[in-house]
Amino acid sequence: MKVLILGATGLLGKALVREWADDEVEAMGSRDVDIRDAAKVRESVENARPDWIVLAAAYTDVDGCESHRELAFSVNRDGAVNVAEAARQAGARLIFLSSDYVFDGKKTSPYEVDDKRNPQSVYGHSKAEAEIRLQEILPNCCIARSSWVFGVGGRCFPDTILRLAANRPALDVVNDQRGCPTYNLDLARAIIQLCRKDASGMVHVTNAGDCSWFEFAREIVTGAGLATEVRPVSSQQMARPAPRPAYSVLSATSLRRYGVEMPGWKDALGRYLQECKS
């Protein structure tokens, strides 16, 4: 199998490049191809002639998207459309990385793949519109929604907590937003399996279990052996430019249909902390 990874220098892209073995893999970052450039995307796909394209390139700064709406849609929606059009012309399969932020967070039980989209942020809107367009262009594409992605080698929540905890006696972290932390290496391994299983349609891909940001932070600090106090606060007390869903836990039902199981998020965090040390 020949695979083209777009967004290879991002948090997930690096993990995909590291984990993918036994297939022919070509990896491109934004310096190699800007997905907003339709002609360049088409040329890159034609040259690579892949069986699968993994689209991990995105503008993921959720708060930044609020003040840079045009950029968010040009990358996350229009860029994805460019890749889908190129995939269709080349006869390649496509797996697109989407987000739990396509939901409004008003449920109290895990979101299934067919639950209604109702994004509350610009980032969420850009991803939701991309999903709709991609399914129109490539009905057999695979859309893999994930959440709270973390890993070594890029900006992520645990990295921020560890940096702040090293210099502060206490940290305030929101306790009224709940989701599924997802380790980039586990996410990469699941995506590789989905491609090999010829997956299509919507799939939710996260580590097992869920928590609040406060619970996540407390586990990070404890696991790192730090003495920093982690204090729960409300979202109102920690106002951010972009609204976040209060509950965006993703159901694993769609992933299990492909026989793929993800480790628990606490297990994943332990491995992340070990990787940080090494």
Q: Which amino acid is at 7?
A: G
User: What type of residue is 242?
Assistant: A
- Within 10 Å of residue 197's Cβ, how many Cβ atoms? 13
| Backbone angles phi and psi of 58, in degrees to 5 | -165, 160
d(CA 124, CA 126): 5
Please report where in the chains the tokens 């965090």 appear, as a residue: 269
**Catalytic site residue from 59, 101, 123, 272:** 123
d(CA 274, CA 65): 32
| SS3 state of residue 42 | helix
- 111 tagged catalytic: no
Render 141-184 in DSSP notation, one character per residue.
-EEEEE-SEE-TTS--HHHHHHHHHTT-SEEEEESS-EE--EEH
* Two tokens, residue 75: 């990358």
Cα separations (Å) of 228 from 150, 182, 214?
Answer: 21, 23, 13
Given a contact cutoff of 8 angstroms between Cβ atoms, the answer to whether 35 and 83 are in contact is yes
Rg (CA), the chain: 18
Q: Which residues participate in catalysis according to the annotation?
A: 123
